Structure 1
Amino acid sequence: MPTGYERGVVKDFGLGEKQSFGFITLSNGEDLFVHKNNLRAGMTTLQPGQRVIFKIGHGARGPQAMDVYLEE
């Protein structure tokens, strides 16, 4: 795993009027916001239970997952 990245599990995705956001559960049990604009190129959605790797960044409303991709 690259330096500065974290692991988590998709809790929910496809929320909101545009079905464009969701949450990733971190290893400490906290939930982190994720927006579809922060998925790696070629990815359009996530499914609950998928294991992902991401950076934690800061958006207008607080911490959020950035550069999100599936763990292999």
Structure 2
Amino acid sequence: MSEPAILNWERVMHKNVRSHDGVDVGTIIADDADTVTIYKGSGREYKLPKTLVEGFNGAEVWLGVTYRELMSYKIQ
């Protein structure tokens, strides 16, 4: 089993998030055991599995999904 991309989720709270194709998708506002919630303005909130987080460079969190793929995780 591989090591998760982020070991300390507190470090990435309120950090900017980019999709795999480089689109700014918001900031992390919450996390629970298996998911992370990303928020970018009214009507743009996403909840996706932590396994889809690719990494953190100290300033931004990078996802392993494209912006288009992220749409399937949009909270209604």
TM-score if structure 2 supplies the norm length? 0.43
- TM (norm. structure 1) is 0.45
| Structure whose residues are more often helix by fraction | 2
Higher strand share: 1
